[in-house]
């Protein structure tokens, strides 16, 4: 429906600031039929008051029944069709550890694994070795050099690491080496297009050296590489919307995604209070703030309903401080649902409110899943939010005469 050409064409300069408050995994489910969701159970007088003056709805990040990963979930909130624009797993993993990825870097997600004497995989995660062991093995792999490229290996967590190659002419159209089953050897990297042949050969050479270096280790005596990818070259939000954009997020992955879409990533601390201090400090410098709260999702993933409730309540408590800055538009939403009941991301659409003096408020009086179902936005694609925010900030001119 909307597309970037339209936004590029229609955006005008303005004064009003847009605040996009993302509570990660905000949407939830009742623990028992008829009960409240996490958001419904939370005591949220400030969010409810804001909802009364807002237009509300349920945002669908990817599509009906589709559970979004964090990458697609955030791309949709930022206005990118998550089918058209994809961030490879290698790039996302590199973002996730704050690796300073450059434009032509090739990144892969790595697993340590266990192979038997014949080279057949017996454990795809090497017995989930601890992170300290991972750090140690990564240090060994850093010995590997390849002709014409710089090689970076970085530990992530447990059995996971990131491999980054930096140099001219790397092509990411490459197959993965994880056969996704046991009893067979890892696959070689294959070029999925003729220009990728040279890159495939380089990665296979790295794998061959890694195999030798790890030969005497146990259980992590081999590696698997997945999601070989390059920075996707996303259209930059500053150009699309004519905004100066800043990201305030505590976790590296979200900071990384924000960087990929062209936001300035502001240094901040670990707590919501740190994030608010950062917001205040930089308030005058930007037109748009992406403000990310991670811990709602973490609590959902842990299946901890009460903790998710209390984090939502914490956000509610600090909301007046944010509103005191007088944003022209406030959106409160999530990048996907993470119901404690499911202990994972889910497909459920996400409670969303959009406040501005011009939002045409609906009759929703409480910020919650069932209340938002009756909201004026209905169940809507998350990609609609940026154009709606721009309109409500009076930053779009009309289409056609």
348 binds a second copy (CB under 8 A): yes
Of 69, 185, 235, 303, the one binding a second copy by CB under 8 A:
69
Using CB under 8 A as the criterion, what x/- string covers residues 277-316 for binding a second copy?
A: ----------------------------------------
The sign one gets for the Cα dihedral 84, 57, 336, 323 is: positive
Q: Which of 332, 346, 284 is nearest to 62 (CA)?
A: 346
Q: How far is the CB of 197 from a second copy (least distance, A)?
A: 26
Of 14, 127, 303, 376, the one binding a second copy by CB under 8 A:
376
378 binds a second copy (CB under 8 A): yes
Q: Which residues pair with 153 in a beta bridge?
A: 163
Of 160, 288, 369, 382, the one binding a second copy by CB under 8 A:
369
Of 124, 211, 244, 370, the one binding a second copy by CB under 8 A:
370
Token pair of 267 as six digits = 């240094």
- Cα–Cα dist 39/25, whole Å: 11
Distances (CA, A) of 92 to 96, 98, 103, 109, 283: 6, 10, 14, 9, 28
Which residues in 92-111 contact a second copy (CB under 8 A)? 92-93
Q: How far is the CB of 294 from a second copy (least distance, A)?
A: 16
Token pair of 100 as six digits = 């300073």
84 binds a second copy (CB under 8 A): no
390 binds a second copy (CB under 8 A): yes
Which residues in 315-344 contact a second copy (CB under 8 A)? 339, 341-342, 344
Which residues in 25-44 contact a second copy (CB under 8 A)? 29-30, 33-34, 37
Alpha-helical regions (H) of 295-364: 295-301, 305-323
3-state SS class at 195: helix
Q: Which of 395, 388, 401 is nearest to 2 (CA)?
A: 388
Of residues 149 and 245, the one with the C-beta less far from a second copy: 245
Q: How many residues does the chain have?
A: 401
CA angle (195 as vertex; 189, 201 as ends), nearest 5: 35
Compute how many other C-beta atoms are within 10 angstroms of the C-beta atom of residue 205: 15
Instruction: Name the residues that contact a second copy, by CB under 8 A.
Output: 1-2, 6, 10, 29-30, 33-34, 37, 53, 58, 62-73, 82-83, 86-87, 89, 92-93, 227, 339, 341-342, 344-348, 358, 360-363, 369-370, 373-374, 376-381, 384, 387-392, 396-401
């Amino acid at each position: 429906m909307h597309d970037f050409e339209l936004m590029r064409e229609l955006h005008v300069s303005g004064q009003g600031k847009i605040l996009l408050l993302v509570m990660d995994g905000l949407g939830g489910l009742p623990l028992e039929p008829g009960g409240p969701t996490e958001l419904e159970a939370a005591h949220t007088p400030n969010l409810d008051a804001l909802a009364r003056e807002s237009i509300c709805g349920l945002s669908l990040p990817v599509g009906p029944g589709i559970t979004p990963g964090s990458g697609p979930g955030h791309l949709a909130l930022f206005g990118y069709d998550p089918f058209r624009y994809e961030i490879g797993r290698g790039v996302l993993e590199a973002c996730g550890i704050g690796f300073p990825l450059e434009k032509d870097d090739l990144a892969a997600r790595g697993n340590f694994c266990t192979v038997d004497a014949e080279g057949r995989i017996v454990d795809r995660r090497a017995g989930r070795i601890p992170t300290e062991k991972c750090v140690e093995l990564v240090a060994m792999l850093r010995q590997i050099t390849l002709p014409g490229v710089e090689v970076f290996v970085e530990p992530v967590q447990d059995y996971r690491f990131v491999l980054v190659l930096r140099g001219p002419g790397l092509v990411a159209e490459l197959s993965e080496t994880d056969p996704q089953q046991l009893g067979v050897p890892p696959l070689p990297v294959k070029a999925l297009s003729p220009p990728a042949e040279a890159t495939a050969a380089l990665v296979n050479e790295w794998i061959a050296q890694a195999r030798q270096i790890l030969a005497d280790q146990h259980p992590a005596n081999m590696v698997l590489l997945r999601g070989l990818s390059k920075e996707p070259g996303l259209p930059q939000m500053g150009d699309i919307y004519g905004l100066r954009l800043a990201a305030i997020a505590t976790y590296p992955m979200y900071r990384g995604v924000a960087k990929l879409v062209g936001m300035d990533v502001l240094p901040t601390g670990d707590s919501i209070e740190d994030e608010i201090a950062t917001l205040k400090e930089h308030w005058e410098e930007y037109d748009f703030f992406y403000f990310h709260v991670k811990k709602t999702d973490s609590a959902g993933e842990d299946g901890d309903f009460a903790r998710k409730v209390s984090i939502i309540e914490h956000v509610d408590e600090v909301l007046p401080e944010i509103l005191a800055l007088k944003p022209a538009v406030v959106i409160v939403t999530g990048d996907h649902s993470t119901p404690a009941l499911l202990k994972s991301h889910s497909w459920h659409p996400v409670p969303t409110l959009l406040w501005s003096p011009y939002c045409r408020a609906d009759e929703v009086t409480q910020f919650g899943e069932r209340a938002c179902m009756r909201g004026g936005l209905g169940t809507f694609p998350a990609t609609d939010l940026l154009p709606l925010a721009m309109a409500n900030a009076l930053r779009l001119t009309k289409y056609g005469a």
